[in-house]
Homo-oligomer: A and B are copies of this chain.
């Protein structure tokens, strides 16, 4: 069983390691940390306390905290969707956190609510299920991820998602996919 303090410390370490902060609003902070703990106990992973999770990891993957949208939201608005993570200006009280638009794509929101296309029977029973994940790499620093879509920002060198490209194999050799 994970404790409130563990969840909070993990978030603090993560904020520090990214050069950002947790919200200075103590009450909000407590609520969000409790929400994360509840979700982690319910689903096995700390999904975003401000969004509806489905309970299916592949569906919820992008909203597990820190969610896929945190870094671009903090860069653009100074805070994440929940205002759990904030930038220097909001941390120092020079700016206020405000409601920001939901960056999560509409089809993912719908899927979380159960309005997604069902898997075909074949997919559901195949022993080796084909994944839509691909090996992608950042053309700037070479960072490799296995995801369906690139991250918004490269966590290693801060390059934009447009810098990511697929890696494919050609008779055992890796190469980059060209147009």
A29 at the interface (CB under 8 A from B): no
Whether the pair B17, A19 counts as a contact (CB closer than 8 A) is yes
Minimum Cβ distance to chain B for residue A100 (Å): 16
Q: How large is the interface on A (under 10, 10 to 19, 20 to 34, 35 or more residues)?
A: 35 or more
List A residues 130-154 near B (Cβ within 8 Å). Answer: 130-131, 133-137, 139-147, 151
Further contacts, 7 of them, CB under 8 A, given A13-B19, A15-B19, A133-B142:
A16-B18, A16-B19, A17-B18, A127-B178, A133-B176, A135-B167, A146-B167
A156 at the interface (CB under 8 A from B): yes
In the bound complex, how far is the Cα of B131 from the Cα of A6, in angstroms? 36
Nearest B residue (CB) for A179: B127
A88 at the interface (CB under 8 A from B): yes
In the bound complex, how far is the Cα of B176 from the Cα of A134, in angstroms? 10
Check A168/B172 contact, CB under 8 A, given A145-B141, A146-B142, A146-B144.
yes
In the bound complex, how far is the Cα of B45 from the Cα of A168, in angstroms? 24
Q: Contacts of A58 on B, CB cut-off 8 Å? A: 139
Minimum Cβ distance to chain B for residue A156 (Å): 5
Whether the pair B169, A172 counts as a contact (CB closer than 8 A) is yes
